[in-house]
Amino acid sequence: MNNRVAEQCSVKRVKAYNIMRKHLAIALALVLASLAGAQGKRAVAPAIASANAIRAVDEIHWHTSPPEMTDIARKEGKLIFYVHMLGSLSGCT
């Protein structure tokens, strides 16, 4: 019984995580396309924008701490790609 309850809780947590991830992804899409956008340009369907953004958020780890970024860059011998944006990934831009 307890196991079943635990399993249900776990499923709920995964679903909540997926919803949150989707929201983060869509917000990212809007950062560079919508937020920076301009008049009379080709529109992208929300579903496509969402799919593209999920890819970017899922497969790229986005740091928010500059010291952390520089530490990792030094250790891994990589350059840093740092995006200033109006708004945040976790909500409306």
For residue 64, the minimal CB distance to another protein (Å) is 6
Between 6 and 20, whose beta carbon lies closer to another protein? 20
Residues near another protein, by CB under 8 A:
23, 26-46, 49, 52-53, 55-56, 59-66, 69-70, 72-74, 76-89, 91-93
Between 1 and 60, whose beta carbon lies closer to another protein? 60
Other C-beta atoms lying within 10 Å of the C-beta of residue 21: 13
Tokens of 13: 């947590």
Tokens of 10: 């776990």
Inter-residue contact 57 to 86 (CB < 8 Å): no
For residue 17, the minimal CB distance to another protein (Å) is 16
Instruction: Round to whole Å and give the CA distance between 1 and 43.
Output: 51
